[in-house]
């Protein structure tokens, strides 16, 4: 692209010059939004960056951000990068012990925390962090004063940091010009960020990404997912994760208006408020949307239920033909305008009514959910990536998506399948390595190829299909190799199954832990159960899931079939450690927590 940028430090200057907007970035607040103009955004980035310089932040210094996703996160990040610093994101869901580990391992000198709750985590471990000099709080308690109290540790608000920077700007000689020169002089191979992988197993590792890694990935992704100044997005995934952060760099670069959701609990009303045209999400979000829609239909009058299924059937027939590159059947073509007017447009209205592209990443999206979204006129493009690849490796193109795949490699990125089925990646997006972990780096980067740990295959058109994780491969007592992901996806095709975890490693047969979609189950099996524990024990509910498992088993090889299952009364959650911040299941945690239940599945 002729307007490509070399470093993320160039991004604020590019946006300031190319995309003057009254509303560039902001956040939902109740029934309204609080937005920054392009000028306000740029001024805040510059002032905070200069404020960091007054605190002694120099090129290569690590500055951490401990916050939920919000405009101030992006602004602080770009302030760090334009000061020559290295951003270290920390998930706000982490406990103090893990915050301490990341701050100590990265040798962070400054941390920006969202509020007093997050600041308290830092204070609780500050004595163990000799390199940490300054705590900046975005939303400090009313009346709190800054200073060090004689300890040498400085605490100040984000507003005070910006004021310090602005004072430096207006009183110093040529400060503004030097700021720009310094930022634009940052080299592509300078370190931009260290992202600690939450991972589904093991100790967090700090992934080192340079400006070249991230900027090239942003530019190459833009060649597939085409965005423009007219687009509006609702952002709700964690910025501490490489996926959402890269997406929002891309959004800003293309002039998209970025509005952050108030919280994960307000996505639905926030979509009505923002009315996005593009949106990124994870499968769990789309699967819940799909489940809620079908749940509402189940309780609707018979005539409305019949109308819904007719319209979705018409939309599905049309979508299948278009996805296959074929002519739409005459019947579907003639019926579609009416189906869209009566039903499909009303379903899209739940997404705000203007969606033209949905993007899904971080975990596999089930084909029925993807097909449903295409059927209602909200095309979803599934992609694949990892923190270590900055993160995008592949994504389905809008003009030729293939459901069940994660698309072909983006420009300048190569994919190869090793003899054992492992996906290997090479390109300018591959990380520099794991911070302080050379041995771990050497294990995954060999002869220029990054070994992803994922299993997959490439079709004749170069489209990648993910079949599982090497570390999650189940080897039964009979020596059969089983990848759990496809089997779990088959079980989750039922709208009554919210989550499925296959068990069977070194076991005589496969079993499964199933979590019902409780609202959908309640609609299907009315009763007066006082608790979920009672609900999952009901014979009629167990029979219902017996049928679901039997249907899934009909599609599986004998050694893959689920012989027994348990219905769990509680959903997996980030807070309980069973899900990563991007809502992927941590198998080791789940197996530990439900060990007794699993053992009962193999007893007798």
User: Is 466 part of a structural domain of the chain?
Assistant: no
Which phi and psi angles does 226 have, rounded to 5°?
-90, 120
Per-residue pLDDT band at 155 (split at 50, 70, 90): very high
Calpha distance 7→391 (Å, rounded): 16
pLDDT tens profile 324-369: 999 999 999 999 999 999 999 999 999 999 999 999 998 889 899 9
| Closest to 112 (Cα-Cα) out of 155, 151, 169, 168 | 155
User: Is 256 part of a structural domain of the chain?
Assistant: yes
CA dist 497 → 128, 282, 400, 444, 558 (Å): 45, 17, 30, 35, 22
Farthest CA pair distance, the chain: 81
The mean per-residue pLDDT over the stretch 474-500 comes to 87
Average pLDDT, the chain: 92
Calpha distance 137→115 (Å, rounded): 6
Asked if 86 and 60 count as a contact pair (C-beta separation under 8 A), the reply is yes
| Closest to 267 (Cα-Cα) out of 292, 230, 296 | 292
Calpha distance 47→44 (Å, rounded): 5
Calpha distance 21→228 (Å, rounded): 13
User: Is 341 part of a structural domain of the chain?
Assistant: no
Listed residues 248, 263, 280: the one ending a domain: 280
User: Is 350 part of a structural domain of the chain?
Assistant: no
Least confident of 274-278, 351-355, 491-495: 491-495
What is the per-residue pLDDT for 199?
52
pLDDT tens profile 523-550: 788 776 668 888 898 999 999 999 999 9
Q: What CATH number is associated with residue 522?
A: 3.30.300.30
Stronger pLDDT, 468 or 515, i.e. the higher one: 515
Which phi and psi angles does 487 have, rounded to 5°?
-70, -40
Q: Residue 325 in 3-state DSSP?
A: coil
Calpha distance 137→129 (Å, rounded): 18
User: Is 252 part of a structural domain of the chain?
Assistant: yes
What is the per-residue pLDDT for 514?
95
The full 3-state SS of 468-517, as one line of letters, equals EEHHHCEECCCCCEECHHHHHHHHCCCCCEEEEEEECCCCCCEEEEEEEC
Domain count, the chain: 2
User: Is 218 part of a structural domain of the chain?
Assistant: no
What is the per-residue pLDDT for 148?
57
CA dist 534 → 493, 570, 598 (Å): 24, 12, 19
User: Is 425 part of a structural domain of the chain?
Assistant: no
Calpha distance 112→102 (Å, rounded): 14
Asked if 61 and 80 count as a contact pair (C-beta separation under 8 A), the reply is no
What is the per-residue pLDDT for 135?
98
Distance of CA 87 to the CA centre of its chain: 18
What is the per-residue pLDDT for 276?
98
Per-residue pLDDT band at 475 (split at 50, 70, 90): confident
DSSP letter (8 states) at residue 557 = -
pLDDT at residue 1 is higher than 80 = no
Which single residue is written with the structure tokens 């964690």? 238
pTM: predicted TM-score of the whole model, two decimal places: 0.87
Q: Determine the straight-line distance between the first and last CA of the chain, rounded to whole angstroms.
A: 64
| Closest to 271 (Cα-Cα) out of 124, 145, 378 | 378
Range of the domain at 23: 8-186+225-280
Asked if 586 and 578 count as a contact pair (C-beta separation under 8 A), the reply is yes
Listed residues 215, 250, 280: the one ending a domain: 280
pLDDT at residue 574 is higher than 80 = yes
What is the per-residue pLDDT for 604?
65
pLDDT tens profile 194-232: 999 865 455 789 999 999 999 999 999 998 999 999 999
Beta-bridge partners for 207: 195, 434
What is the per-residue pLDDT for 362?
83
Q: What CATH number is associated with residue 148?
A: 3.40.50.12780
User: Is 179 part of a structural domain of the chain?
Assistant: yes
Calpha distance 56→45 (Å, rounded): 17
Task: For residue 429, give both structure tokens.
Answer: 């997006």
Calpha distance 584→363 (Å, rounded): 7
What is the per-residue pLDDT for 89?
98
Q: Is 72 left (phi over 0), alpha (psi -120 to 50) or beta?
A: alpha
Asked if 443 and 377 count as a contact pair (C-beta separation under 8 A), the reply is no
The mean per-residue pLDDT over the stretch 4-29 comes to 96
pLDDT tens profile 385-439: 999 999 999 999 999 999 999 999 999 999 999 999 999 999 999 999 999 999 9
Listed residues 233, 249, 280: the one ending a domain: 280
């Amino acid at each position: 692209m002729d307007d490509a940028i070399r470093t993320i430090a160039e991004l604020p200057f590019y946006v300031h010059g190319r995309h003057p907007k009254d509303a560039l970035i902001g956040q939902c607040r109740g029934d309204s939004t609080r937005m920054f103009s392009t000028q306000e955004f740029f001024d805040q980035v510059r002032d905070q960056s200069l404020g960091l310089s007054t605190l002694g932040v120099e090129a290569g210094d690590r500055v951490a951000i401990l916050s939920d996703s919000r405009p101030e996160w992006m602004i602080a990040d770009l302030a760090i990068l334009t000061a020559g610093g290295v951003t270290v994101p920390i998930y706000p869901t982490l406990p103090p012990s893990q915050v301490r580990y990341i701050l100590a391992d990265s040798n962070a000198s400054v941390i920006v925390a969202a509020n007093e709750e997050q600041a308290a985590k830092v204070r609780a471990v500050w004595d163990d962090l000799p390199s940490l000099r300054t705590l900046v709080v975005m939303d400090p308690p009313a009346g709190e004063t800054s200073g060090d109290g004689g300890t040498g540790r400085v605490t100040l608000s984000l507003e005070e940091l910006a004021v310090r920077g602005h004072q430096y700007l207006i009183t110093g000689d040529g400060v503004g010009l030097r700021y720009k020169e310094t930022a634009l002089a940052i080299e592509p191979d300078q370190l931009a960020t260290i992202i600690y992988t939450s991972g589904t197993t093991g100790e967090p590792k700090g992934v080192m990404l340079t400006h070249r890694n991230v900027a090239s990935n942003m530019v190459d992704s833009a060649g597939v997912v085409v965005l423009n100044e007219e687009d509006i997005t609702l952002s709700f995934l964690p910025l501490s994760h490489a996926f959402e952060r890269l997406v929002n760099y891309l959004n800003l670069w293309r002039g998209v208006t970025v509005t952050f959701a108030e919280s994960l609990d307000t996505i639905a009303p926030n979509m009505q408020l923002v009315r996005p045209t593009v949106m990124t999400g994870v499968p769990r979000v789309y699967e819940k949307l799909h489940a809620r829609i079908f749940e509402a239909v189940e309780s609707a009058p018979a005539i409305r239920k019949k109308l819904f299924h007719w319209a979705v059937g018409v939309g599905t027939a049309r979508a299948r033909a278009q996805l296959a590159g074929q002519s739409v059947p005459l019947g579907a073509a003639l019926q579609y305008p009416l189906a869209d007017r009566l039903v499909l447009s009303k379903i899209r209205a739940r997404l705000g009514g203007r969606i033209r592209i949905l993007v899904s990443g971080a975990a596999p999206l089930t084909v029925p959910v993807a097909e449903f979204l295409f059927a209602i006129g909200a095309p979803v493009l599934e992609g694949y990536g990892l923190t270590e690849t900055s993160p995008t490796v592949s994504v389905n193109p809008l003009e030729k998506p293939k459901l069940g795949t994660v698309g072909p490699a983006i420009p300048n990125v190569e994919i190869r399948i090793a003899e054992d089925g492992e996906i290997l990646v090479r390109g300018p997006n591959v990380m520099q390595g794991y911070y302080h972990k050379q041995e771990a780096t050497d294990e995954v980067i060999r002869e220029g190829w990054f070994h992803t740990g994922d299993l997959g295959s490439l079709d004749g058109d170069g489209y990648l299909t993910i079949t599982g994780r090497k570390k999650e491969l189940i080897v039964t007592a009979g020596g059969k190799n089983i990848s759990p992901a496809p089997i779990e996806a088959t079980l989750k095709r039922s709208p009554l199954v919210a989550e499925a975890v296959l068990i069977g490693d070194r076991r005589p047969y496969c079993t499964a832990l199933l979590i019902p979609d409780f609202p959908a189950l309640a609609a299907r099996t009315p009763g007066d159960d006082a608790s979920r524990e009672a609900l999952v024990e009901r014979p009629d509910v167990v029979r219902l899931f017996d049928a679901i498992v039997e249907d899934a088993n009909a599609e599986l090889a004998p050694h893959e079939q689920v012989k027994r299952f348990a219905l769990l009364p509680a959903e997996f959650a980030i807070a309980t450690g069973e899900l990563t911040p991007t809502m992927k299941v941590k198998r080791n945690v789940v197996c530990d927590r439900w060990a007794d239940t699993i053992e009962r599945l193999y007893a007798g």
